[in-house]
Amino acid sequence: MQVFEEPSASQYSPIFDIHPTTGMHFEVFYFGRSETAAKDFGGWFWWPRRRGQPPEGAATGAFPTSYAAYRDAMIGSGVHHRVERNAQAAVGA
């Protein structure tokens, strides 16, 4: 008989960081699938967010690993989030 251990909470702890070029604050987090959900949405996501504050935009994901979500925030679509937001503010959109 095999015994399966529950994964530790630290395995799914959120990661907060700041993009070095754009200054965008973001959080990488795990969201598990719901037992009642029609589809499996479990995985790693990221969204623009300062620690202790509500998100500044929609979550991006799901990614299979925290590294994949972090990488997307740093060099993927996350790089453009702050730049586009600042450009809209400057134009008055």
pTM check: above 0.75? no
- 19-66 tens-digit pLDDT: 888 888 999 999 986 655 556 668 999 999 998 999 999 999 999 999
Tokens representing residue 25 in the block: 């604050």
Using the 8-state DSSP alphabet, how is residue 50 labeled?
-
| Number of Cβ within a 10 Å radius of residue 42 | 14
For 26: left if phi > 0, alpha if psi spans -120 to 50, otherwise beta; the answer is: beta
Q: Find out whether 83 and 22 touch, Cβ atoms under 8 Å.
A: yes
